[in-house]
């Protein structure tokens, strides 16, 4: 029996053609007829039965994605198809995978050999029902494996799956414990688009349209685009891949040979308000939290903009208060006895050293950004990026 009251109610309204008000009236009527207290969900199931609505078929007792753990057998779950990735061919067979999600999270599903034929029937936006799969850890994340015993149903009749829930966050509040978040703020820094050619069969990096394993091929392009959003509380780097890059930037391939021409697009994006839905990712190389974007929009409602301005003003007032506190502290220090002069001199010296250290850290950070752009040329780093795309 499902424990999702809203989903049960929605299904009964949809199937019975009755309104929510009518269903609620039936619930109140049922409450008075029972000598003992019955849960709201229980009452909904009784009403559904009377109306001839089959909830068992529509909401089976299966695992939510967040509850799938390592080394599980006979896993059954539902999910919305988010992405379908190219099939890779090897000397011993082939493999393909998709990314699916529900309201609790996302997971990669891997198809091997003859099972990859199913991928020809699957596209983003489909609902998928998986039966008798097994789970395992791969690169510190759980993924589902489709075996020869696994049954995969595409768009089963009458089944609806909720999408991932993104929690609105101030950037300063985002932590490694967060999963999916939504942020709002202006773009303050834009990096160049990175474009790589990949073999359509093995997905490895190629040069001059030639793969070491498969020879001359028509390459697939991998687009990577990063920028920084600042909401007044902090700033964070956001990374887009492939479809999202093409959604934001028309024909990104045009900048491959002439990256300097991208400067005009960069000026257009700087200071533009954007709302980003993303998965939180911890970048171990730079010891920082970043966002792996899932969707975005420049269409900001008046209420959202008003809320952002209000929050920005609160931050500004807080900053002004800090300045006033510093002034008060300075006045008090000036009134100290001359005997404290040596101690104050020491404090000033320490402050200068701290500022010097801070500048050094900022310099190292900027150098690290350049190193990031350079290191992306390596094949193993591209594999890591692909893993991020599939998370």
Q: Read off the pLDDT band of 321 (50, 70, 90).
A: low
Which of 39, 58, 77 is the last residue before a domain boundary? Answer: 58
**How many domains does one find in the chain?**
3
218: left (phi over 0), alpha (psi -120 to 50) or beta: beta
Angle, CA of 75, 81 and 84, to the nearest 5°: 105
Same domain, 176 and 134: no
The whole-model pTM stands at 0.58
DSSP-assigned beta bridge partners for residue 205: 198
Buried b (16+ CB within 10 A) or exposed e, 272-298: ebbbbbbbbbeeeeeeebbbbbbebee
* Residue 360: pLDDT band with limits 50, 70, 90: very low
Contact in structure between 108 and 144 (CB atoms under 8 Å) = yes
Task: Give the C-alpha separation, 214 to 199, whole Å.
Answer: 8
What CATH code is carried by the domain that includes residue 255? 2.40.50.140
Q: Please check whether residue 124 lies inside any domain of the structure.
A: yes
Would you say residue 342 lies in a domain?
no
Query: Given this model, what pLDDT does residue 57 score?
Result: 47
CA distance 111 to 151: 12
Instruction: Write the pLDDT tens digit of every residue in 366-377.
Output: 333 333 333 333
Token pair for 181: 């978040």
What was the pLDDT predicted at 337?
54
Asked, for residue 271, whether it belongs to a domain, the answer is: yes
149 lies in the same domain as 80: yes
Residues contacting residue 83 through CB under 8 Å, at least 6 positions apart: 98, 99, 124, 389, 390
Provide CB contacts within 8 A for 8, sequence distance 6+.
2, 41, 44, 45, 48, 55, 59
Q: What is the pLDDT of residues 150-194, one digit of tens each?
A: 999 999 988 889 888 889 999 999 999 888 899 999 999 999 999
- Same domain? 178 vs 287: yes
* pLDDT tens per residue, range 101-141: 998 888 999 999 999 999 999 999 999 999 999 999 987 78
Q: Indicate whether 385 and 297 sit together in one domain.
A: yes
Q: Which two tokens stand for residue 142?
A: 């759980």
In a domain, 26, yes or no: yes
Residues 29, 130, single domain; the answer is no
Of 109, 126, 154, which one is at a domain's C-terminal end? 154
Q: What is the DSSP letter of 261?
A: G
Which domain range does residue 241 map to?
A: 167-303+374-390
């Amino acid at each position: 029996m499902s424990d999702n009251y809203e989903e049960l109610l929605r299904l009964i309204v949809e199937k019975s053609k009755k309104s929510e008000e009518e269903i609620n009236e039936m619930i109140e009527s049922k409450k008075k007829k029972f000598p003992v207290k019955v849960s709201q969900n229980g009452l909904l199931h009784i009403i559904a039965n009377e109306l001839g609505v089959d909830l068992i078929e529509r909401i089976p007792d299966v695992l939510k994605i967040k509850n799938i753990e390592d080394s599980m057998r006979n896993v059954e779950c539902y999910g919305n198809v988010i992405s379908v990735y190219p099939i890779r061919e090897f000397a011993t067979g082939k493999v393909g995978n998709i990314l699916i999600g529900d309201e609790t999270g996302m997971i990669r599903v891997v198809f091997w050999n003859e099972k990859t034929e199913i991928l020809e029937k699957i596209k983003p936006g489909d609902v998928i029902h998986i039966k008798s799969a097994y789970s395992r850890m791969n690169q510190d994340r759980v993924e589902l494996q489709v075996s020869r015993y696994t049954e995969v149903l595409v768009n089963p009749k009458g089944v609806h799956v909720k999408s991932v829930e993104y929690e609105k966050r101030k950037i300063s509040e985002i932590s490694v414990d967060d999963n999916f978040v939504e942020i709002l703020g202006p773009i303050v820094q834009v990096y160049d688009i990175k474009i790589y050619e990949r073999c359509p069969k093995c997905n490895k990096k190629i040069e001059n349209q030639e793969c070491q394993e498969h020879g001359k091929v028509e390459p697939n392009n991998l687009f990577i685009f990063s920028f920084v959003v600042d909401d007044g509380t902090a700033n964070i780097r956001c990374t887009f891949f492939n479809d999202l890059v093409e959604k934001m930037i028309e024909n990104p391939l045009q900048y491959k040979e002439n990256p300097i021409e991208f400067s005009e697009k960069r000026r257009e994006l700087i200071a533009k308000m954007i709302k980003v839905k993303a998965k939180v990712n911890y970048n171990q190389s730079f010891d920082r939290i970043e966002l792996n974007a899932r969707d975005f929009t420049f269409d900001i409602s008046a209420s959202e903009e008003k809320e952002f301005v209000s929050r920005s003003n609160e931050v500004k007032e807080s900053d002004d208060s800090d300045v006033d506190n510093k002034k008060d502290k300075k006045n008090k220090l000036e009134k100290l006895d001359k005997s404290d002069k040596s101690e104050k001199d020491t404090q000033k010296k320490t402050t200068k050293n701290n500022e010097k250290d801070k500048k050094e850290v900022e310099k190292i950070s900027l150098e690290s950004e350049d190193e990031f752009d350079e290191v992306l040329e390596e094949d193993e780093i591209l594999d890591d990026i692909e893993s991020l795309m599939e998370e």
